[in-house]
Amino acid sequence: MSSAPHIPVLGREAIAHLAPRDGGIYVDATFGAGGYSRAILEVPGTRLIAIDRDRTAITGGAELVERSAGRLALVEDRFSNLADVCAAQGIDTVDGVVMDVGVSSMQLDQAGRGFSFRLDGPLDMRMGQSGPTAADVVARASEGDLADIIYQLGEERHSRRIARAIVADRKDTPFTTTRALAELVARVVRSKPGDIHPATRTFQALRIFVNEELEELQTALAAAERVLTPGGRLVVVSFHSLEDRIVKNFLSERSKTGGGSRHLPEVAQVPPSFQLLTRRPIVAGDDEVAHNPRARSAKLRAAERTSAPAHQDGEQSSWPRLSDVMRGG
């Protein structure tokens, strides 16, 4: 296999922790431009199932599939379905799952995808090609739901003011472009020179919401736990604190050994399904950040599957849900 066209964020560290070996079967849950996948295929004898919900990523990977001589299956799907995707390939267990979550620079840089407040385009923000767009959410969500979305998923303190202004303005003209929404936020949220763009948090919130990114991640981690063979590796690179918190909580809960009270009955203690490989997250070095500013917020966490059974799924967190909001519920 030839080398990657660009070096993905924390690529070297991610592959080092995944530790692909001859004869192993791996899942790259976020194919993107295929940087991680190429590195896995560089190891002779590996087999790889790669997933992306974005059809353009799948089309872009067609040539790599062809050159892989049957070692790479590239599937258009959500990574929350990764266990079913493997089963459809006739695979029940795998030796490693790697996830590099979030949007790709290819998606961010294309005005037509509507992710960027810096480029004018349709207010879309979907990574895949189905479901409601950001424009649909901005047009239909109640003021309370918009404020919750922007506050919880964007960690934006001015969420109520922004939601009120959206609802007031959309009566006259629906928001259909990234520029219109970015201008509204800039009008409502004052910023000083040197601050991040005032629309950064609102755009992040809508993107996470439209793509159900947190639910996807939580479901995919549990799916990875079910398909990983004992000794198999889970490696996750995330880009903001909400995602990293999910990964951190999942891995710390799954790797807890006993702990609790010695007076508790033994049945209450579920053996750990993972052993941590990274006590603290790995972050990009100054060199990588200098070449790729996006790497600044990247965090890598990794763990090795034990032979204990997968845990029961815990409670789902209480983020605003796309289906509830679009149903008006």
Ligand X SMILES: C[S@@+](CC[C@H](N)C(=O)[O-])C[C@H]1O[C@@H](n2cnc3c(N)ncnc32)[C@H](O)[C@@H]1O
Residues 296-325, one symbol each (x = binds ligand X by CB under 6 A, - = not), give: ------------------------------
Q: How many CB atoms lie within 10 A of CB 29?
A: 27
Helices 35-42 and 11-18 cross at an angle (nearest 10°) of 40
Applying CB under 6 A, the span of 46-54, 112-120, 202-210, 296-304 interacting with ligand X comes to 46-54
198 binds ligand X per the rule CB under 6 A = no
Figure out which of the listed residues 36, 175, 250, 274 binds ligand X, where binding follows CB under 6 A: 36
Distance from CA of residue 189 to its chain's centroid?
27
* Helix H or strand E encompassing 228: strand 228-238
Residue 287: what residue type?
D
Binds ligand X (CB under 6 A): choice among 18, 41, 51, 235: 51
Q: How far is CA 163 from the centre of its chain?
A: 25
User: Two tokens at 303?
Assistant: 């763990």
CA distance 113 to 125: 6
> Is residue 32 close enough to count as binding ligand X by CB under 6 A?
yes
- Using CB under 6 A as the criterion, what x/- string covers residues 59-98 for binding ligand X? -------------------xx-------------------
Token readout for 239 is 């880009």
26 binds ligand X (CB under 6 A): no
The reply on whether position 52 binds ligand X by CB under 6 A is yes
CB of 34 to ligand X, least distance (A): 5
Please, which residue, 36 or 319, has the CB nearer to ligand X? 36
- Which lies closer to ligand X via its Cβ, residue 34 or residue 154? 34
Return the number of the residue (57 or 137) whose C-beta is nearest ligand X.
57
Q: Which of these ranges, 100-108, 109-117, 131-139, 158-166, lies near ligand X under the rule CB under 6 A?
A: 100-108
Rounded CA gap, 294 and 87, in Å? Answer: 34
Q: Does 216 bind ligand X (CB under 6 A)?
A: yes
Nearest residue (CB) to ligand X, 38 versus 158? 38
Q: How far is the CB of 270 from ligand X (least distance, A)?
A: 27
Closest contact distance (angstroms) between CB of 232 and ligand X is 19
Q: What are phi and psi of 65, to 5 degrees?
A: -60, -45
Site membership for ligand X, residue 30 (CB under 6 A): yes
CA angle 100, 320, 204 (to 5 degrees): 45
Establish if 221 lies at the interface with ligand X (CB under 6 A). no
In the complex, minimum distance from the CB of residue 300 to ligand X, in angstroms, rounded to a whole number: 12
**Got the DSSP string for 229-285?**
EEEEEEEEEE-SHHHHHHHHHHHHHHT--S-S-TTS-GGG-PPPSEEES-SS-EE--
User: What are the C-alpha distances in Å from 273 to residues 61, 88, 212, 234, 247?
Assistant: 33, 25, 26, 11, 14
Q: Are 209 and 150 in contact (CB under 8 A)?
A: no
Return the range that interacts with ligand X (CB under 6 A); candidates 52-60, 150-158, 171-179, 281-289: 52-60
Report the interface residues with ligand X, using CB under 6 A: 8, 30, 32-36, 51-54, 57, 78-79, 100-102, 104, 127, 216
